[in-house]
Amino acid sequence: MTGVSQTTVSIVLNERDDAAVRIAPETRERVLAAIRRTGYVADPIARRLAAQRNRFLGVFTYEPVFPAGLGDFYHPFLVGIEECAERIGCDLLLFTSAPVIDGRRRIFSQDNRLRLADGCVLLGRWLDPEELARLIAEGQPFVSVGRRDDAGGPVPYVGADYPTATAAQVRRAAELGHRTIAYVGEGSGPESHADRFRGFTTATQEAGITGLHFKMDKLVLGRALKAGCTAIFVEEFADGAALADEATERGLRVPEDLSFVALGDPTRPASTDLDFSGYRIPRREMGWQAVEVLSAILDGTAGETQRLLSCEPVTGATLAVARA
């Protein structure tokens, strides 16, 4: 229609100047007139391919999280991820076909489709360190929801500041007169568990009180009581609900005789009427900011790629003055 090359049309269409090709004003106007006359609109997919971006962000989960009910632990993370992706004009690609090997999903497989997305948000309590190291080595953009430190290199992440939140609860217990308190949970393994336990041990030492560690089993409450514990900090909310029920069955009052502190939100169903003291994890904000960091990495504008967000303290009704 205009008698000019595709290159000339492309330069005019994308409103850019090319040092190698100078467009005369009358030629530019002729091309613009043809565009107006035909109602031509640039193909957004072609534009994205030219920029080596397709505006797809991947979400890979090491644990099954779809579909997510409103009460599901992962639901707020997913809400935050979706909201931020919408805000920046990206679509989400859920990687659901990854094979399960040795009971866990794996990113890398024969049919790995990770490169369909510009970058990926990784979600799960446990992430494979070897796969994280490979992602770093291959230069594939990703951000982990949750702090990670075992990939042989810096991992971009948005996590919760568990040590600070846990230490604050320990100090509160000490102020209420608790001199021997128990931490019930693994205390190791995933960073989220190790971080909680680190905050617990550091704070008990600083407060000059006794902090004991027990793994969760059927005898743990009896052992904690025998050791003189007046407060129990639980790594998993559901364990706290179960132990509180057992304490009631033993004739103990919660919190008058025995206090409980829940270090986070339920990761599995827990039936209880108790308003647990402790803190909440900023799950929605973590999901949102993970996409925010990933977008900055892709745009080349990322500053700090490791963020820890504050947890929200919950006064609750299960931590009281220590019994005499």
Contacts of 314 by beta carbon, 8 Å cutoff, 6+ apart: 276, 277, 278, 279, 280
Summary mean pLDDT of the chain: 88
At 45 the pLDDT is 45
**Residues 307 and 289: beta-carbon distance below 8 Å:** yes
When pLDDT is cut at 50, 70 and 90, the band that residue 158 belongs to is very high
Whether the predicted pLDDT of 213 surpasses 90: yes
> pLDDT for 96-137, tens place per residue?
777 666 667 778 766 677 778 999 999 988 888 888 998 888
**pLDDT bucket at 66, cuts 50 / 70 / 90:** low
Task: Tell me the chain's radius of gyration from C-alpha atoms.
Answer: 27
pLDDT at 68 over 70: no
Question: What would the DSSP string read from start to end of 195-247?
Answer: HHHHHHHHHHHHHT-EEEEE--STTHHHHHHHTT-SEEEESSHHHHHHHHHHH
> Where are the domains positioned within the chain?
6-42, 56-160+283-311, 162-280
Whether pLDDT at 47 is above 80:
no
The architecture (CATH level 2) of 162-280 comes to 3-Layer(aba) Sandwich (3.40)
DSSP assignment letter at 156: P
Is there a common fold for 56-160+283-311 and 162-280? yes
The Cα 199–Cα 272 span in angstroms is: 26
Q: How many CB atoms lie within 10 A of CB 321?
A: 13
**At residue 211, does pLDDT exceed 50?**
yes
pLDDT digits 0-9 by tens, 225-260:
999 999 999 999 999 999 999 999 999 999 999 999
Instruction: Specify the higher pLDDT residue, 54 or 42.
Output: 54
- Per-residue pLDDT tens for 3-23? 888 878 877 877 665 555 678
> Tokens standing for 40?
């031509």
**pLDDT tens string 126-143:** 888 888 998 888 888 999
Q: Containing H/E element for 262?
A: strand 259-263
The pLDDT tens digits of the residues spanning 160-190 come to 999 999 999 999 999 999 999 999 999 998 8
Task: Classify domain 56-160+283-311 at the CATH topology level.
Answer: Rossmann fold (3.40.50)
User: Can you name the residues that pair with 233 across neighbouring β-strands?
Assistant: 183, 261
181 vs 82: CA distance, rounded Å: 40
List all residues 6 or more positions away from 215 whose beta carbon is below 8 Å from its beta carbon.
184, 185, 186
Grade residue 48 by pLDDT with cuts at 50, 70 and 90.
very low
100-101 and 104-105 strand pairing: antiparallel
Place of tokens 């090491």: 62
Residue 49 has pLDDT above 50, yes or no: no
User: Counting beta carbons within 10 angstroms of the beta carbon of residue 268, is it exposed (0 to 12), middle (13 to 18) or buried (19 or more)?
Assistant: exposed
Which amino acid, 231?
Answer: A
Residue 70: the pLDDT is 53
User: Does the structure show a pLDDT above 60 at 64?
Assistant: yes
- Report the distance separating Cα 120 and Cα 97, nearest Å: 15
